[in-house]
Amino acid sequence: MPNEAWASLVMLAAALGILYWASRNVFAPLNLVIALDFLPVFVGCFIVGQLDQRGYHLGFLVASGVLCAALGAGSGRWWLRHNPKRDLAAFRAKKVDSVLVSNSMFTFATSTVLVLAIVIVVLFFLRVGIPLLSQTVFIAKVQAAREGGYLSVRFMRYYLPLLLLIYAVGYRAKIKPNKLLIGCTAVFILIAFTLFGYRSYVLNYLLLPFVLLQAYQRVSKRTLQLLGIGALVSAAAITAQAYQTSSFRSLWDILSERLFVRVVAGGLAPVVYGLVPNGGILRGKGFWMDVPAALSRIGIGPPNLPNFAQYLGGYTGGRDEIAWQTSASLVGEAYANFGFWGIVVIMFLFGLLVQWLYVRTLRGSKDALFFPLRIYFQLSLLIAAGGPFVFIMIDSIGSILLFAALFVFLYIFWSLPMGGPRFRSILTARGSQSGLTLPQKSG
């Protein structure tokens, strides 16, 4: 191997050591980002490098980005004076509570959103059909997403898994999570995602939220195992139907190529050896491209504007930009927009941001609504790191805010006949039973 390859291995090893020191938590958000988004790409670079020496240079770029992200996390630990063991133990000792005081009204709100989501998802399939049963699954799923409407897809992709996470966290210590309800909801989500034909949905929005939850509170191994098996079976079933194959070897080849090689050969390499040399550094235009693209999905501006991943898919394959996209990961997007120093700065800031969110979550309240929302925001960062970054973050932030608004509205709505909603202010005096009482001034 060339010296650049050995240097990238040394940088990666240093990065992993810093990451462990920064959190002492295998499931910490940034550790999951590195393990799930960047390590597979790094391995893919070495696979490509065996055929083309330029792959080792791509591995060097990825390792540089991972090291900078780790340095950002380490800086965050120092800046926030984070004590990993103490902060994690203190958070796990907290009881689940909520600013939404009424247990029964909270339950009514969750139940209403659950019923509404199930009805919307069922109507979605009745209206657009089942993409998995189509002969062109990957094209049919994109068409179904277009025809199904913005809210229908959000209820399926975001809101049902969010409800599952809220149920799993549980509202207050005296209300135990209903295992049967959690199980039925998980099965419904698994079936819906499978019929929709999106492998990434099953892994990213059903399995990963619970893996990320493990960073903050203990999740039973049985739950993670069942979700993991379900996600893998679903991904394999979608792949088998889409490629019309039942051979285990063929399925493994397709999935491993998607996991390790696709981002490198279809995204990172075209950026480094095609897009930038031929067109120059984009100077932020690649990130900005995601903004009008995200707005176009909700009817603001021209319809179906391409995000950066779709633009790159059209650039590399000459295909329909809306129907086909390819990811270059955050490392590739940083390089496309600002070159090598873009990787250094952006990945450092990314690591610092994720570490800051992790520590602030540990030091915050274990609110039955807003704690799961914080987890989902961090999940969005994990998914967005695979690209297109800005597009996914705008979509995720908007969807999370809409869910929070809907949930609080339903909580207020159901509370009106019972004398009005009750809230607990974060400034409530200790021992006060009133929802909005502020602490008394001394003296």
* CA 154/CA 176 separation, integer angstroms: 28
Distance in angstroms between the alpha carbons of the first and the last residue of the chain: 73
At residue 150 the predicted structure's pLDDT band, cuts being 50, 70 and 90, is: confident
Convert the pLDDT of each residue in 42-93 to its tens digit: 999 999 999 889 999 999 999 999 999 999 999 999 999 999 999 999 999 9
* Residue 265 is assigned to a structural domain of this protein: no
Q: State the chain's mean pLDDT as an integer.
A: 88
Higher-confidence residue: 143 or 343? Answer: 343
* Residue 271 is assigned to a structural domain of this protein: no
Convert the pLDDT of each residue in 226-244 to its tens digit: 999 998 899 889 989 888 8
- The proportion of the chain whose per-residue pLDDT surpasses 70, expressed as a percent, equals 92
* Residue 273 is assigned to a structural domain of this protein: no
Q: Is the pLDDT score of 443 beyond 60? A: no
* Residue 242 is assigned to a structural domain of this protein: yes
Model pLDDT, residue 433: 37
- The proportion of the chain whose per-residue pLDDT surpasses 90, expressed as a percent, equals 60
* Residue 123 is assigned to a structural domain of this protein: yes
Q: Is the pLDDT score of 319 beyond 80? A: no
Higher-confidence residue: 224 or 181? Answer: 224
Model pLDDT, residue 322: 47
Q: Is the pLDDT score of 134 beyond 70? A: yes
* Residue 229 is assigned to a structural domain of this protein: yes
Q: Is the pLDDT score of 438 beyond 70? A: no
Convert the pLDDT of each residue in 156-211 to its tens digit: 999 999 999 998 887 655 566 677 888 888 999 999 999 998 888 888 999 999 99
DSSP per-residue codes, 126-183: HHH--GGGSSSHHHHHHHHHHHH-HHHHHIIIIIHHHHHHHHHH-SSTTS---HHHHH
Q: Is the pLDDT score of 212 beyond 70? A: yes
Average pLDDT over residues 331-337: 97
* Residue 333 is assigned to a structural domain of this protein: no
Counting the structural domains of the chain, the total is 1
- Percentage helix, strand, coil, to 5, in the chain? 75, 0, 25
| CB-based contact 423:101 (threshold 8 Å) | yes
- For the CA atoms of 304, 308, 312, 314, the dihedral, rounded to the nearest 10 degrees, stands at 10
Q: Is the pLDDT score of 291 beyond 70? A: yes
Structural domain including 218 reads 103-246+394-418
Q: Is the pLDDT score of 144 beyond 90? A: no
Convert the pLDDT of each residue in 387-426 to its tens digit: 899 999 999 999 999 999 999 999 999 999 888 888 886 5
* Residue 218 is assigned to a structural domain of this protein: yes
Higher-confidence residue: 94 or 443? Answer: 94
Q: Is the pLDDT score of 435 beyond 50? A: no
Model pLDDT, residue 324: 61
Alpha carbon 202 to chain centroid distance? 12
Model pLDDT, residue 321: 46
Model pLDDT, residue 176: 64
Convert the pLDDT of each residue in 369-380 to its tens digit: 999 999 999 999
Q: DSSP assignment, residue 37?
A: I
| CB-based contact 267:329 (threshold 8 Å) | yes
Q: Is the pLDDT score of 441 beyond 50? A: no
Model pLDDT, residue 429: 35
At residue 16 the predicted structure's pLDDT band, cuts being 50, 70 and 90, is: very high
